[in-house]
Structure 1
Amino acid sequence: MMLTNYWPQAAAVNACIKNEAETADISVLLAVHQPSPLVQRNAGTNLETLATEKDLLDAFLTNDVPGGALIVPITGPSGVGKSHIIRWLDAQLHRSPKSKQLHIIRIPKSASLRTVVELILAPLANDPRYAKPSADLNRAVAEVNVKDAVITFRAHLENALSARRERMIAELREHPNRTHLKALIGHAEKLPRLFSDAALDQHFITNVLTRIVARAIGGRSESDDETLSQFAAEDLMLPREIDLNQAARQVREYYQVQIAIAPAERLKPIVDP
């Protein structure tokens, strides 16, 4: 008999093996988990040190928090395992002897804005003191207008890129050997102009920013493409029907020299730093 006769069909494989960390049962996730090497970066100094998963867990369990709050973003390229490590962290926190002292909320990456609010407010559901604020907040979330949210998102994106540019300038000044930052600094300065140029802004609003904002507001189903909620290198490419000659000279030159002829691997760090 040929081995192929016993090879499972794609549907059977998909029914048994989930490629999304969030869809796997927690017992399965913990059973197959393998320790991952981590790099810890200080947000203030940009200094990087090697770290372990235990270091990550201990950071959330320590009572030594001089600033009163601890913010630990889990960052990395798509597919590196961010969702997996967050689910592992959530499981370990719930298993910790300190769990009864903790208020643990894990927000799935597929969550909509409404779901995020509901998860945060869930522990207060039976407290009458928070009934009106909860109702007001839920109503505000329900009334979010996508068009208005896109404009706000673009403004915040510009501010975020400006702040990132300043951080990279400081990092380059401190570490002159990190020459790759020079190109990223230029992109952080010029991308907002590309998105807001009078000849191009409607394209980016309609085809890029609206997609990302709508996903944040409406959430994502298990079958949806994860990349719909993220910037991709293709998002920077203009379709042929866009007349680039109508754009401002600086924007036109930036696109022609830095974007249009750049291979995808060079554009990826811009949209997925």
Structure 2
Amino acid sequence: SGGYYHSLPMDTLRQFIDKSAEAQRALGFKNEKDHPEVAPSQFEMNFSYADVVRAADHVQLYKLICRQTARSMGHTATFLPKPFVGINGSGMHTNFSLSKNGKNIFYEAKGKDGLSDVAWDFILKLLNHASEICLVLNSSVNAYRRLDPHFEAPNQVKVSAIDRGSMIRIPMANERTARIELRSVAPDANPYLVLYTMLKTGFEGERLEKNETTPDPVQYLPSDINDAIALFNSSKFIAEILGEDSKKKYASFKQLVADRSPKELGTRVKASEVLFHHEVTNQLLWNQF
């Protein structure tokens, strides 16, 4: 079955969600909501905000808990962005804000959409560098299957409070919860690298200069990993925030994976997208110890 909140109390998916949430709470997670998602056997589990490094730690623990819980029930938890075509994929929507002296500096009651100039500065910098940093946010061949607004996943380089095809959404919020939601992040991305790149871009990037009189043409994120690698490689900004050596090494690893899959994604998930996926490789290596 599928659809939001589609499971009954004793369904396998519901039991999995409850057991995973219980384990998370035991480890100190502040769970906010857990529920089945649109696609069959898909779930969403949200936990509260934390400082940046701890938030990345939470992502890694979250995946470990879900995998171990699923395994104990005779199932497999996958964080592939698009394990099946034709239905919604999975994302890692990243909500964040900045605080200073305990105050949320992204909030401005009279600001556009309730956000401060600081928040809008962050947004415009992320939009300006969206294509360059896309390989960090979507680091696998499979991730580019997900970026399709027909399945509630963003592929447009724009910001909106309502349009789910936009890579950045502005949720309704108040002084405590005002934030930016970066929706283009894949669930198999490295959370430490994602958060680092996201923050460095917001602090040190160049703003997207918007024309107030003429609507800007819609820009799109790369449609496959090869395009993303090319944009990543050509970016001086990436070299500045990651360092030239790290940039080259990261791109070379991603090119190796990209070369093992057809350049055209096609309409079926290829075995190579799974077999040579970095998380599958990591788990295989981990099991050797």
Normalised TM-score (structure 2): 0.26
The structure in which a higher percent of residues are strand is 2
The structure in which a higher percent of residues are helix is 1
Normalised TM-score (structure 1): 0.27
